[in-house]
Amino acid sequence: MERTLSIVKPDGVKENAIGEVIKRFEQKGMRIAALKMLRMSKDDAKGFYIVHKERPFYDSLTAFMSEGPIVVMVVEGDNAIVKVREIMGATNPKDAAPGTIRADLASDIEHNIVHGSDSKESASYEIPYFFSALEIC
C-alpha cells in the first residue's frame, strides 16, 4: 500500500470540482486516508514548492496556490503515486489523455485543477507538510 498527496488547487475549488476529483480517485480503487480544506499563505506555498524555486514559474505558481482555498488529501492504494498521476493526466491539459481530470476539467497549464506527488521522495515531503500522523486514517 502506497500513499501520495493530492491537492485540489484554487481553480478546482472555485469550480466546485472537489467531489469530482475525489470520485475519480475512488472509482479507480484509491482510498482517501486524510482530507482537509485550507488556505495557504504565500510563504506556505513557497515552502511547499521549494523544489521549484529556481524555475521561472515559481512566483506565479506560489501566487496562484495562495489565492484561494485548496483541498489537500492523502490518497492510498497500490501504486498510488503512478495511479493518481495517471488519473490526473499530463500537467498541460492539452497533452492530457481523454477522460483524465486535467483533460476534462482544466483550463491551462497553470490552472490545471490538481497536484499530485511525482515520486516517493516528494510524497514523503509533501504529506507531512499538511498532515500529522494522527490525521491519516
C-alpha cell at 13: 475549488
- How many residues appear in the chain? 137
Helices (H) and strands (E) counted in the chain, each on its own, are 7, 4
Radius of gyration of the chain (CA): 14
Is residue 49 within 8 A of residue 7, CB to CB? The reply is no
Closest CA to 21 of 120, 112, 107: 112
CB half-sphere exposure, 21, CA atoms < 13 A: 32
Handedness of CA 14, 87, 127, 32 (dihedral sign): positive
Q: Is 115 a catalytic residue?
A: yes
Which among 3, 83, 102, 115 is annotated as catalytic? Answer: 115
Catalytic residues: 115
